[in-house]
Amino acid sequence: MTDTADTLLRLLRSDGVVHSPRAKLTPLPGGVSSEIYRVDDGEDTFVVKRALARLKVRDVWTADLSRNLCERRYLEYVGRFVPRSVPALRKTDVARDYFVMEYFGPEHRNWKELLLHGSFEPAHGAVCAGILGQIHRLSRGDPDAIALFDGHSCFDQLRLKPYLLTTGRRHPKLDDRFSLDFSSNLPVDPGW
């Protein structure tokens, strides 16, 4: 185990999340904004996800750790109406920069991983689009969603600035297509 995994395992033990003296953490692939581990805790297996202040990329790319709570809220919220589309969360009494969730098992591969390995099935896109459409349809105008997700800092830090604005800076001839009008939080019309 790495020093980071050892430190996290000690934290999970002290928080009462892990119980077995032989518990171990195994890093899971994917993502640049968090540490994600499979936790084998005796007969129990689950996943712990912890946000990173500095992301695992070449550029200096930082994001507020509060996004971890935002992601947990999202999984709880969406789990109410499309429960099989998100992992079930485990209840913990500790407010930390991590959360604990169900482990789907090694036979499940995420769509990004499949695409990166050249495996494209139109049915996967159709299922994803259907779930996303259902989430948008059921959350539009929902006062609970507005209260839970009021604000854009996580989206700005993890999507708009690093992808759109950085792309625009690196390709100055196309910058106007990636520029944002932050007063309205909508992309400037690029004239397409």
Q: What is the 3-state secondary structure (H, E, C) of the chain?
A: CCHHHHHHHHHHHHCCCCCCCCCEEEECCCCCCEEEEEEEECCEEEEEEEECCECCCCCCCECCCCHHHHHHHHHHHHHCCCHHHCCCECCCCCCCCEEEEECCCCCCCCHHHHHHCCCCCHHHHHHHHHHHHHHHHHHCCCHHHHHHCCCCHHHHHHHHHHHHHHHHHHCHHHHHHHCEECCCCEECCCCC
Amino acid type, 70: C
Residues 14 and 5: their CA atoms lie apart, in Å, by: 14
Q: Which two tokens stand for residue 14?
A: 């002290």
Name the more confident of 25 and 160.
Answer: 25
Which structural domains are found in the chain, ordered by start? 1-108 (3.30.200.20)
Residue 19 contacts residue 92 (beta carbons within 8 Å) = no
Does residue 3 carry a pLDDT above 50? yes
The percentage of residues in the chain with a pLDDT greater than 70, rounded to a whole number, is 91
Does residue 9 carry a pLDDT above 70? yes
Q: Which two tokens stand for residue 13?
A: 């033990």
Q: What is the pLDDT at residue 188?
A: 47
Does this model's pTM top 0.85? My answer is no
Bridge partners (DSSP) of residue 102 are 46
Q: How confident is the model at residue 179 (pLDDT cuts 50, 70, 90)?
A: confident
